[in-house]
Structure 1
Amino acid sequence: MGRKFRAFRVFGLMGGYLKKAVLSLLSYHVKISFKLALGVGD
């Protein structure tokens, strides 16, 4: 039981890091496309 719980906690931490990474990538992508759109608008 204890080992399973520990593995589950590690998995949860990994999931949290993945979420953060995906969110930062998304915001970065949005910023770049926004800049491109503004550049095209000029």
Structure 2
Amino acid sequence: MHINLIRHGRTICRAQNPKCEICTINQLCDYYEIELGRGGD
């Protein structure tokens, strides 16, 4: 599983330009909830 997380970080969850809108695990992500304001408000 860890190799898949590395691959995910390289392609989807990038530091400079994360692709949150297509991320399949964004519901687990603090950045997605806090920075993008898409949490369970």
Q: Please report the TM-score for the alignment, with normalisation by the length of structure 2.
A: 0.31
Which has the higher Rg, Structure 1 or Structure 2?
1
Task: For CA contacts below 8 A with separation 6 or more, give which structure has more relative contact order.
Answer: 2
Q: Please report the TM-score for the alignment, with normalisation by the length of structure 1.
A: 0.30
